[in-house]
Amino acid sequence: MSELIVWVHGDCLSPTNPALAAYQDAPAIFVFDEALIASWRLSLKRIVFIYECLLEMPVVIRKGDVAEQLTRFAERHEARRIVTTPSPSPRFKEICAALQQKFELEIIASEPFLDYSGKLDLARFSRYWQTAKKHLFE
């Protein structure tokens, strides 16, 4: 069994994810957050895009409550530690707080796609992209 698992989330969907790179032999998981999908009313097109990104990574794909699914996965692998990458999402902070009650959490910094400290609308990619492209292509 593994002493740790890797949690891949929607803010670092890349085969070069630093957590995956640091722990290549560790079991890895992505959880489709059903509550987030419903509240943000994510389109099928966006869900398929996320799924296609995941197919390029060595991850187990689940759906449901993220903290609950991560806990089950970690317990099945007898892991005491969960390794992931940072996210600006308030939902991420909530999930991390829940996980830290039972597991050690390691967050490996990733190279930011965008160096921006203003408010970002993360609910829709197009709104995020409108802000990001202004700062990326100046």
Residue 72's CATH number: 3.40.50.620
State how far the Cα of 115 lies from the Cα of 37, in Å rounded to an integer.
26
Residue 28 structural domain = 4-136
- DSSP letter (8 states) at residue 15: T
User: Hey, what are 10's tokens?
Assistant: 């929607």
Q: What is the pLDDT of residue 2?
A: 73
Asked if residues 29 and 60 have their Cβ atoms less than 8 Å apart, the reply is yes
State how far the Cα of 99 lies from the Cα of 107, in Å rounded to an integer.
12
Helix ranges, 23-65 (H): 34-40, 44-54
Tell me the C-alpha to C-alpha distance, in Å, between residue 50 and each of 33, 42, 106.
12, 11, 23
User: Hey, what are 3's tokens?
Assistant: 């002493």
Q: What is the pLDDT along the chain (138 residues), one digit of tens a residue?
A: 679 999 999 989 999 999 999 999 999 999 999 998 998 888 999 999 999 999 999 999 999 999 999 999 999 999 999 999 999 888 999 999 999 999 999 999 977 666 767 776 666 677 777 777 777 776
Domain count, the chain: 1
Q: What is the pLDDT of residue 114?
A: 66
Largest CA distance in the chain: 48
State how far the Cα of 45 lies from the Cα of 128, in Å rounded to an integer.
16
Q: What is the pLDDT of residue 77?
A: 97
